[in-house]
Amino acid sequence: MDSPTIQRLRSEWQALGTAPLSMAACHLLAESEPVVAALQVGDLAELIAALSLSSARLSRHEAAAVITAMLRSADVDVLIPRAIIQALIPGVLALSRRIDVAGGPWCDLDAFYADAISALWELTMTWSGANRPYAVGDLLSAVRTRMRTLQASEHRHRSRQASTPDALDTLPAWTGRTGQELLAAAITDATGHGLNPTEAAILYATRVLGMSLAEVADLAAVPAHHLRRQRRHAIDRLVA
């Protein structure tokens, strides 16, 4: 059974996908992408239905190629990114079977789906217009990385709480900032004053959020060795 978040998306799509604006968006997309034109669909709802494996109209590889085309031409109409989200809902649902939802910061499965859809939307908008041959895998992999990062952060938080010695319970609570908070503040203060925003983002992601360079490289679609050099430069700037 769908969660409330997924139900809302499906209900919204029933109205959006068949509206006149959807027909116009589909026409523009077909003009830009021959692989879409070949499907001869009248609106985005028909397009997304054709991508479903249950329709038996396209193979998994062919459906993935259409989504690659949709992402590449996502800027031709504002409804195209929304259509991509709709097409990838099955992939988002599958993520919950690969991640321990109870081990993360989510109160229930619906909260997990809400965060995953939010991440997918952000990534889709960021990569709109980009030619990514493996768009489906790239998007879902990046969402999975985001969710696992949230899970790992929650795990570290719980571990710190669980490892606190009982004897310390009688001491006054520490009201100062943690090392991570101090580092985050230092990065913020240095941004624009010797530290450019890109370097700051890399340093924040790897040193404050605890992400690996490989995870950041995957999200940013930038080679890890480039990020490693930028992070080294950022550290040099920060401690100068």
CA distance 86 to 150: 23
Residue 116: band (very low, low, confident or very high) from pLDDT cuts 50, 70, 90: very high
Q: Where are the domains of the chain?
A: 4-153, 175-239
Question: Is pLDDT larger for residue 157 or for residue 166?
Answer: 157
Give the DSSP H/E element, type plus range, for residue 207: none
Residue of 72, 86, 68, 67 whose CA lies nearest to 22: 86
Dihedral Cα 135, 223, 187, 125, nearest 10 deg? -20
Query: Can you read off the two tokens belonging to residue 65?
Result: 């190629």
Measure CA of the first residue to CA of the last residue in the chain; give whole Å. 56
CA distance 152 to 34: 42
Phi, psi of 181 (to 5 degrees): -65, -40
- 79 within 8 A of 22, measured Cβ to Cβ: yes
What average pLDDT does this structure show over 152-175? 57
CA distance 29 to 44: 9
Give the orientation angle of helix 135-162 with respect to helix 60-72, to 10 degrees: 90
**175-239 CATH fold:** Arc Repressor Mutant, subunit A (1.10.10)
- 230 within 8 A of 199, measured Cβ to Cβ: yes
Computed over every residue of the chain, the mean pLDDT equals: 83
Quick: pLDDT tens for 166-207: 443 444 444 444 555 556 666 766 666 677 777 777 777 777
CA distance 95 to 143: 9
> Residue 15 above 90 pLDDT?
yes
Residue 5: band (very low, low, confident or very high) from pLDDT cuts 50, 70, 90: very high
Query: Can you read off the two tokens belonging to residue 18?
Result: 């068949």
Quick: pLDDT tens for 53-92: 888 899 999 999 999 999 999 999 999 999 999 999 999 9
What pLDDT sits at residue 175? 43
Query: Can you read off the two tokens belonging to residue 102?
Result: 């109870």
Residue 239: band (very low, low, confident or very high) from pLDDT cuts 50, 70, 90: low
> Residue 32 above 90 pLDDT?
yes
- The verdict on pTM exceeding 0.85 is no
Helix, strand or coil, per DSSP, at residue 45: helix
